[in-house]
């Protein structure tokens, strides 16, 4: 118990500034990130399958949430998060969790590296204190805006950002159990407070950047009040909210759900490897779905399991769900007791923190390694997912990435498929095949990709052949396209007054043949247990 409480406090210290930084990166006030850590940390833990995963706002969501905030505002983001929760529950209930785990490694690396690049670009503005009024548009437009704004650089904010970065990197090398973020942000916050109040500096902080007005309570920085229940659509202008808006928001909800499922299950795989636990992926997704349904009612942004915080939780000694609940309570108490002090956190320091997060999630070593050693098609998939994530849109990248993964899987499955002529091998083992008979063996699943290959091969048999034997003992499954192709083979043979003998059918394929009205009538279409029986039958007829 004590280990879990200590782990929860440790992770709470990590989650506190990170949740604020991620909310700011998305384009919403920092308290919305804190609310997410509290609600998701409790609900996902209670209803999910993992004992040690910590849920909350994550860097992976930043790229996909920014366009939603820019187009629809915070209310639109809350509705998208709510929709993603229902989709996650459906994925879990229909037991699709295992399918999501099958997404190839190059796809996930391409996503994460692309996300890391975009996050890093977004931090340059606050890290260097650049004066930019409108920072939106596509990736190349943001880069051009940054380039054109560098003459507005604030050297004081840059020094604070560099100092934070230096402490974060240096402290992480000490292997201390005290989180680097606590040391770096504490030092830089005190320093900025002294510089701003005693020496006339104007270094941006949460207090100078954000303000709030909640139930008549107004102020700057982070509101020192507990969670407030509100309807996600409370601030929606329903005169403008119509069916077209729903159609626009739905793809965002789907993208959030897919990315959240990927991130949560990847986190579960990593933590299971560290703890030897066995997370149920479908139950975990249902827990994440319930968390994302609840979070918007308290102003929280979409949440998922966070890999870095979950790993820190385990390293701190966590063994059960109590640590996640303690982490959420720690964040809540921090709001109530220390909100005025948290408001003095420098914006440049939070940007430095996210730069470190971006570097850690970039998997740059794995990215380079794939390019060096992976098959050519895997490299194409990696680069496509990376480029689309960076230069276009995360939704497009997810759609294309999933499509490429499917095509790659189908291609490689087809490559495993073969259809071989066996006449020579059987004639060499004292079992003579009549000259007018061809024996083929089909190996692999006979589905839409492979069925056409079988059709082309089998209908192009020599005209001197009047009987075709097909061994299907190594065919584990056949789909509708395969059944249609098989019917075409039968029809072609019958039209040419030839016979067909099928061997080695398993019970499942036999049942599919019966449903497709493929009947073995012992006149032109035969069914035998194996090739030997079929050849012996033909030799008896010949005699």
3-state SS class at 472: strand
Query: How much of the chain exceeds pLDDT 90, in percent?
Result: 42
3-state SS class at 179: coil
> How does residue 421 score in pLDDT terms, banded at 50, 70 and 90?
confident
Superfamily name with CATH number, domain 418-542: STAS domain (3.30.750.24)
Q: Tokens 């948290």 label which residue?
A: 342
Strand 525-528 vs strand 304-305: parallel, antiparallel, or unpaired? Answer: unpaired
Look at 430 and 18; give whichever has higher pLDDT.
Answer: 18
> Measured between alpha carbons, how far is residue 218 from residues 193, 213, 263, 363 in Å?
22, 4, 37, 42
Look at 396 and 32; give whichever has higher pLDDT.
Answer: 32
pLDDT in tens, 483-533: 888 888 778 777 777 888 888 888 888 888 888 887 776 667 778 887 777
Lowest mean pLDDT across 67-71, 206-210, 340-344, 519-523: 519-523
* Cα–Cα distance measured from residue 224 to residue 111, given in angstroms and rounded to the nearest whole number: 37
Query: How much of the chain exceeds pLDDT 70, in percent?
Result: 91
- How high does pLDDT run on average in the chain? 86
The residue among 532, 500, 469 whose CA lies nearest residue 540 is: 532
Taking residues 425-433, what's their average pLDDT? 59
Lowest mean pLDDT across 78-92, 254-268, 502-516: 502-516
> How does residue 428 score in pLDDT terms, banded at 50, 70 and 90?
very low
pLDDT in tens, 462-486: 667 778 888 888 888 888 888 888 8
pLDDT score, position 236: 63
> How does residue 340 score in pLDDT terms, banded at 50, 70 and 90?
very high
* Cα–Cα distance measured from residue 188 to residue 348, given in angstroms and rounded to the nearest whole number: 10
> How does residue 191 score in pLDDT terms, banded at 50, 70 and 90?
very high
For the chain, what are the domain ranges?
A: 2-363, 418-542
- pLDDT reading at 314 higher than 70: yes
SS (H, E, C) 48-63: CCCCCCCEECCHHHHH
- From start to end of 1-135, where are the E strands? 55-56
Look at 185 and 401; give whichever has higher pLDDT.
Answer: 185
pLDDT score, position 435: 76
CA angle 495, 501, 507 (to 5 degrees): 120
pLDDT score, position 184: 96
Lowest mean pLDDT across 4-18, 161-175, 499-513: 499-513
């Amino acid at each position: 118990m004590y280990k879990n409480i200590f782990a929860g406090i440790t992770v709470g210290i990590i989650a506190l500034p990170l949740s604020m930084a991620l909310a700011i990166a998305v384009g919403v006030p920092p308290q919305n990130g804190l609310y997410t850590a509290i609600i998701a940390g409790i609900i996902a833990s209670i209803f999910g399958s993992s004992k040690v995963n910590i849920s909350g706002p994550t860097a992976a969501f930043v790229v996909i949430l920014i366009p939603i905030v820019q187009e629809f505002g915070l209310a639109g983001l809350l509705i998208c998060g709510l929709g993603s929760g229902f989709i996650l529950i459906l994925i879990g209930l229909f037991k699709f969790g295992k399918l999501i785990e099958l997404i190839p490694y190059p796809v996930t690396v391409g996503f994460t590296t692309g996300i890391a690049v975009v996050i890093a670009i977004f931090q340059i503005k606050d890290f260097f204190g650049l004066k930019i009024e409108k920072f939106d548009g596509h990736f190349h437009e943001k880069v051009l805006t940054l380039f054109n704004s560098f003459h507005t650089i604030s050297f004081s904010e840059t020094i604070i950002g560099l100092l934070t970065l230096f402490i974060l990197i240096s402290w992480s090398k000490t292997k201390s159990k005290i989180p680097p973020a606590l040391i770096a942000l504490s030092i830089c916050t005190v320093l900025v407070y002294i510089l701003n109040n005693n020496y006339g500096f104007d270094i941006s902080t949460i207090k100078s950047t954000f303000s709030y007005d909640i139930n008549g309570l107004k102020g700057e920085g982070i509101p020192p009040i507990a969670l407030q229940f509100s309807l996600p659509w409370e601030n929606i202008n329903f005169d403008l909210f119509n069916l077209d808006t729903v159609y626009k928001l739905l793809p965002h909800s789907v993208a959030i759900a897919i990315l959240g499922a990927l991130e949560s299950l990847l986190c579960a795989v990593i933590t299971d490897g560290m703890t030897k636990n066995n997370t149920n992926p479908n139950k975990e997704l249902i827990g994440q779905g319930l968390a994302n349904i609840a979070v918007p009612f308290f102003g929280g942004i979409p949440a998922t399991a966070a890999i870095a915080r979950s790993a820190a939780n385990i390293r701190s000694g966590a063994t059960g769900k109590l640590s996640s609940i303690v982490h959420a309570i720690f964040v809540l108490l921090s709001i109530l007791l220390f909100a005025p002090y948290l408001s003095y956190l420098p914006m440049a320091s939070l940007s430095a923190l996210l730069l470190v997060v971006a570097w850690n999630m970039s998997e740059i070593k794995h990215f380079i390694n794939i390019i060096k050693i992976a098959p050519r098609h895997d490299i194409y998939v990696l680069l496509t997912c990376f480029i689309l994530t960076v230069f276009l849109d995360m939704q497009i990248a997810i759609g294309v990435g999933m499509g490429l993964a499917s095509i790659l899987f189908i291609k490689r499955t087809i490559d495993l498929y073969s259809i071989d002529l066996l006449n020579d091998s059987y004639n060499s083992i004292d079992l003579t095949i009549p000259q007018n008979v061809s024996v083929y063996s089909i190996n692999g699943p006979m589905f839409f990709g492979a069925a056409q290959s079988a059709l082309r091969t089998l209908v192009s048999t020599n005209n001197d052949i009047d009987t075709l034997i097909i061994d299907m003992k190594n065919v584990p499954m056949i789909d509708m396209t395969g059944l249609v192709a098989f019917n075409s083979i039968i029809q072609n043979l019958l039209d040419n007054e030839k016979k067909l003998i099928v061997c080695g059918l398993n019970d499942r394929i036999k049942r599919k043949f019966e449903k497709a009205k493929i009947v073995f009538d012992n006149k032109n279409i035969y069914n035998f247990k194996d090739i030997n029986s079929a050849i012996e039958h033909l030799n008896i007829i010949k005699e």
